[in-house]
């Protein structure tokens, strides 16, 4: 009776402690719950043994939803949320493994779906937070308010991630750091292209215009990520993998029975051609190259997936790009479709900064040099360096741009023979054109890929269904032909 009273007391106490002192609760609760569970097993008390893990779960939930101090680092809340997310994914995978056989394939698919949903949600919230922070900085500048005081006022009375980010930037502004350095220190997860644009704009004293352009870009990306998409990119892969496991099970346990029935009832009868083709395909994939596919899946799960998650959540470093960033830029630059998008996006950033630099009265050499600090594709940046070297050597600006394999429209903007004195106007027009063209191509690719993937998947599913039901039709036809009137 005493142990039961102590158990309920610990449950109430740790829920309260999780709200008030989440760090202490998370550190001590696992040991207390484990000790209580061990004592309950020794005393043969099933009730208290079942409540012991509930104490731990309740403590984690209380710590996750607790509201810490405004300036605190909130590491207990983050750890508690990660524990809840990991436990949910693990529990869902275990349930799927036991209730859906076939080696737990459904559990694997469910696990991938949960991870994909979590990454998508986190990425969307990050873009939304970035849009809010940049918009707050931009509105403060447009109103000519002291930036540190404005950020403190915007974050007052709140403890969410956006407010903590604003306080972090304010902290370094008060100490005398520039806005770019304050953003780097107070917002370590700030997107690399935003930091690069702010740094470059500070050098040419065009910070308000750069913040305005960044605000528009981040709001557009946040809205794009929050928009409901008709088909997730992982959906076709999940469907194909799930269908393969179903087909493999049918080809292993069901179709051979049909073959035995056909050969026993009708001598010399064979399975339909479509079924034989499907059996060969499934056998080839499962038994001949199955080990290769297994190694590829293991490599994707253990190496590619963690690296991709790391890339998504780690900001790029424009001045000293990481090795994996350089590899990714090289691959995207040399792939047929992605090359156009990388080139177009990089050109938009360069044209925008060139316009701001020339508008502030800087020379063309300085304007091109400022673009080298932008977060653009590394292969595109090499062309910018060639352009700068040719211009500094005294070459014609337009000819140097063409020889450096930059876009013809960019060379046309600096061609004195065609549009002398209209460079700024043409750069502004090119910026608008490239932005709209980029959005148009992105939407066009999505509209084209959706129907194509649907048709391909429909054809695959149709062939599989036809191959599976063809033996039944063959048996019925043979029986109908053998009936004697």
What tens digit of pLDDT does each residue of 225-269 get?
656 555 666 677 777 777 777 777 777 777 777 777 777 776 666
Q: Which of 219-233, 348-362, 471-485 has the lowest mean pLDDT?
A: 219-233
- pLDDT for position 143: 82
Reported as half-sphere exposure (CB side, CA atoms, 13 A), residue 83 has a value of 19
Give residue-wise pLDDT tens across range 125-134: 677 777 888 8
- pLDDT for position 151: 86
Cα–Cα distance between 255 and 326 in angstroms, integer?
50
Q: Is residue 396 included in any domain, yes or no? A: yes
Q: Are residues 216 and 241 in the same domain?
A: no
Q: Is residue 29 included in any domain, yes or no? A: yes
Cα–Cα distance between 239 and 228 in angstroms, integer?
20
Q: Are residues 201 and 132 in the same domain?
A: yes
Q: Are residues 309 and 336 in the same domain?
A: no
Q: Would you place residue 68 in the very low, low, confident or very high pLDDT band (cuts 50, 70, 90)?
A: low
Residue written as tokens 């919230």? 125
Which 8-state DSSP code applies to residue 318?
S
- pLDDT for position 380: 92
Do the Cβ atoms of 110 and 92 come closer than 8 Å? yes
Q: Are residues 340 and 260 in the same domain?
A: no
Q: What backbone torsions phi and psi does residue 199 show, to the nearest 5 degrees?
A: -60, -45
pLDDT reading at 116 higher than 70 = no
Cα–Cα distance between 67 and 63 in angstroms, integer?
8
- pLDDT for position 383: 92
Q: Are residues 81 and 132 in the same domain?
A: no
Q: Is residue 130 included in any domain, yes or no? A: yes
Count up the domains in the chain and report the number. Answer: 4
Q: Is residue 401 included in any domain, yes or no? A: yes
Q: Is residue 46 included in any domain, yes or no? A: yes
Which 8-state DSSP code applies to residue 395?
-
Q: Is residue 257 included in any domain, yes or no? A: yes
Average pLDDT (454-482) is 79
Q: Are residues 77 and 37 in the same domain?
A: yes
Q: Are residues 211 and 248 in the same domain?
A: no
- pLDDT for position 333: 92
Q: Is residue 192 included in any domain, yes or no? A: yes
Picking from 66, 99, 132, the residue at the C-terminal end of a domain is 99
Cα–Cα distance between 309 and 455 in angstroms, integer?
30
Q: Are residues 177 and 262 in the same domain?
A: no
Q: Are residues 19 and 69 in the same domain?
A: yes
Q: Is residue 427 included in any domain, yes or no? A: no
pTM for the structure as a whole? 0.65
- Check which CATH number belongs to the domain holding 163 and give it: 1.20.81.30
DSSP secondary structure string for all residues of 225-261: HHSPPSS-THHHHHHHHHHHHHHHHHHHHTHHHHHHH
- pLDDT for position 103: 46
Q: Are residues 207 and 280 in the same domain?
A: no
Q: Are residues 201 and 137 in the same domain?
A: yes
- Structural domain of residue 275, as residue ranges? 237-314+453-482
Q: Are residues 122 and 215 in the same domain?
A: yes
Picking from 177, 201, 223, the residue at the C-terminal end of a domain is 223
């Amino acid at each position: 009776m005493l142990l039961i009273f102590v158990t309920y007391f610990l449950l109430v106490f740790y829920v309260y402690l999780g709200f008030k002192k989440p760090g202490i609760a998370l550190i001590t609760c696992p040991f207390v719950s484990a000790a209580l569970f061990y004592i309950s097993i020794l005393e043969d008390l099933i009730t208290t043994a079942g409540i012991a893990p509930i104490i731990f779960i309740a403590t984690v939930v209380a710590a996750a939803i607790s509201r810490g101090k405004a300036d605190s680092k909130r590491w207990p809340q983050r750890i508690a949320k990660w524990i809840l997310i990991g436990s949910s994914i693990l529990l869902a995978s275990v349930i799927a493994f036991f209730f859906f056989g076939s080696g737990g394939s459904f559990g694997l698919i469910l696990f991938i779906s949960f991870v994909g949903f979590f990454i998508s949600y986190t990425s969307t919230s990050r873009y939304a937070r970035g849009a809010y922070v940049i918009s707050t900085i931009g509105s403060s500048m447009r109103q000519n308010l002291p930036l540190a005081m404005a950020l403190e006022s915007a974050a007052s009375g709140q403890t969410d991630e956006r407010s903590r980010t604003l306080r972090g930037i304010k902290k370094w502004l008060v100490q005398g750091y520039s806005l770019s350095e304050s953003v780097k220190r107070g917002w370590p997860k700030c997107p690399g292209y935003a930091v690069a644009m702010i740094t470059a704009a500070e050098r040419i004293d065009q910070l308000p215009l750069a913040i305005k352009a960044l605000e528009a870009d981040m709001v557009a990306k946040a809205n794009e990520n929050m928009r409901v998409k008709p088909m997730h990119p992982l959906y076709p892969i999940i469907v194909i993998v799930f269908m393969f496991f179903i087909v493999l099970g049918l080809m292993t346990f069901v179709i051979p029975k049909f073959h035995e029935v056909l050969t026993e009832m009708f001598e010399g009868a064979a399975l339909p051609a479509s079924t034989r083709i499907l059996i060969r395909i499934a056998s080839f994939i499962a038994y001949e190259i199955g080990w290769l596919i297994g190694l590829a899946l293991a490599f994707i799960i253990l190496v590619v997936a963690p690296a991709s998650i790391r890339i998504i959540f780690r900001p790029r470093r424009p001045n000293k790009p990481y090795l994996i960033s350089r590899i990714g830029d090289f691959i995207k630059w040399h792939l047929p479709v992605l090359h156009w998008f990388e080139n177009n996006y990089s050109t938009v950033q360069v044209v925008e900064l060139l316009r701001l630099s020339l508008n502030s009265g800087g020379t063309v050499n300085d304007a091109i040099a400022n673009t080298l600090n932008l977060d653009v594709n590394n292969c595109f940046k090499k062309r910018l360096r060639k352009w700068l070297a040719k211009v500094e050597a005294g070459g014609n600006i337009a000819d140097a741009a063409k020889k450096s394999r930059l876009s013809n429209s960019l060379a046309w903007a600096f061609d004195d023979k065609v549009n002398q004195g209209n460079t700024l106007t043409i750069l502004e027009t090119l910026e608008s054109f490239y932005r709209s063209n980029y959005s148009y191509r992105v939407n066009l690719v999505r509209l084209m890929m959706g129907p194509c993937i649907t048709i391909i998947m429909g054809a695959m599913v149709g062939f599989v269904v036809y191959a599976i039901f063809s033996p039944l039709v063959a048996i019925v036809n043979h029986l109908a032909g053998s009936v004697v009137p």
